[in-house]
Structure formats: structure tokens, C-alpha cells
């Protein structure tokens, strides 16, 4: 069972990394182009792929995070660290929540970008 918990933790962390990487990609792509300039749809197609990967990452964060939470006390809690370990986890999750929200902002901007690019091409 401990091996499955470790695998679950890896998948949870991989989901978080995927979300962060996707947000950075969205930021990088969208600051260098505008919807009207995407006549061929290459940028739009790339953004759609990144958004899909971010949705998968988000699902991984939630699903594997819930499993991680359920297994935490039995498999990960370090009694020697005491309450400090819990405090550290709270701070870590606050930081990651802020990163998540920033990624969500760019996710929504990319969705708007795709919609505008589609409208530009249909005109």
C-alpha cells in the first residue's frame, strides 16, 4: 500500500507541475500574439491543446489530492515534525492556491483569446 501512496503523491505533484507549466505557456504565447494575427489558427490550436492538458492536470490535482489527504495521517505524517509539518502544508497550499488562481486567470484569458480568434476568422 505504501508504494501506491508514493505513486499517488507523484501523480498529484505531476498534476500541479502540469498546471504551472500550462499557465506559463499560456502567458508566454498570449503576450506575443493577438487573435486577429492568428489567421491560420496555429496559435489557437496550440492554446486548445494547452487548455486540455491543464484540465487533465486539474483533474489529477483534485483526484490524487483527495486520495493523498485520506492517506496522509497513516503514511505521511511525521510525528517528530509535529504541528510544524501541518503549518508548513497550510502555507504550501496557500502559495499553490495563489499559483493556481494565476493559472486560472490565464486559462480564462486563453479561452477568450480562442473565442476572439474564431470570431475574427469567421468574419
Using a pLDDT cut of 70, give the percent of the chain over it: 95
Contacts of 11 (CB under 8 A, 6+ apart): 60, 64
Q: What total number of domains does the chain contain? A: 1
Q: Is the pLDDT of residue 68 over 80?
A: yes
How far is 45 from 78, CA to CA, in rounded Å?
A: 46
Higher pLDDT, 104 or 119: 104
Largest CA distance in the chain: 65
Supply the range of the domain harboring residue 9: 2-122
pLDDT at residue 120 in the model:
79
pLDDT tens for residues 14-62?
999 999 999 999 999 988 887 777 777 888 999 999 999 999 999 999 9
Read off the pLDDT band of 78 (50, 70, 90): low
CB 28 within 8 A of CB 43: no
pLDDT of residue 98: 96
Is residue 55 classed as helix, strand or coil in its secondary structure? helix
Amino acid at each position: 500500500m505504501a508504494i501506491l501512496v508514493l505513486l499517488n503523491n507523484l501523480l498529484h505533484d505531476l498534476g500541479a507541475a502540469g498546471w504551472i507549466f500550462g499557465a506559463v505557456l499560456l502567458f508566454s504565447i498570449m503576450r506575443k500574439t493577438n487573435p486577429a494575427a492568428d489567421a491560420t489558427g496555429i496559435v489557437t490550436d496550440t492554446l486548445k491543446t494547452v487548455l486540455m492538458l491543464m484540465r487533465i492536470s486539474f483533474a489529477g490535482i483534485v483526484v490524487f489530492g483527495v486520495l493523498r489527504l485520506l492517506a496522509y495521517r497513516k503514511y505521511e505524517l511525521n510525528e517528530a515534525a509535529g504541528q510544524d509539518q501541518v503549518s508548513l502544508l497550510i502555507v504550501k497550499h496557500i502559495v499553490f492556491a495563489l499559483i493556481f488562481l494565476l493559472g486560472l486567470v490565464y486559462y480564462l484569458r486563453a479561452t477568450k483569446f480562442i473565442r476572439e480568434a474564431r470570431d475574427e476568422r469567421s468574419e
